Amino acid sequence: MGTTTFFLRHNDSGKSLNKMGKKELEKLDNLSPYNETPYFNGWSVPLELHNGNVYALVFWKGKLMKIEEAPKVLNKKYYDKYRGKELKVYEWTILKKYLLAQIEYLDKEFKKTRRKTKRKNKRNIAG
């Protein structure tokens, strides 16, 4: 089994992958999130997933992380850039609220589609 590596472009000055040469791509491929410097040429390696394992991933303010690591990483107070001040709530609490709201929305949409298909099936059977 292999691994899947996620590369994030963290600034606009980094070259795009299709414009990199063979040596640059090899250096990028040798990066690991476990090294002291997981950065090269405007790209970072946030995590590697080993095939066969299932992880839920979260993307928050330019950071890609496993959901298990999110409470440890998002332990700072949330800075609201629109108000220009720090709130009395942690980043993890805000993310959790957003995730739960999105899950509830998706659950409602799923139930709507199930009801629609159920109605169609009943009409087809009766008609």
Same domain, 74 and 121: yes
- Amino acid occupying residue 18: N
Determine the pLDDT at residue 107: 94
Q: Name the pTM for this structure.
A: 0.55
The answer to whether position 120 is within a domain reads yes
The answer to whether position 61 is within a domain reads no
The answer to whether position 100 is within a domain reads yes
Same domain, 86 and 120: yes
The parent domain of residue 88 ranges over 69-127
The pair of three-digit structure tokens given for residue 45, joined into one six-digit string: 């390696």
The answer to whether position 64 is within a domain reads no
Same domain, 34 and 80: no
Distance of CA 57 to the CA centre of its chain: 5
pLDDT digit string (tens) for 68-79? 888 888 888 988
Same domain, 35 and 82: no
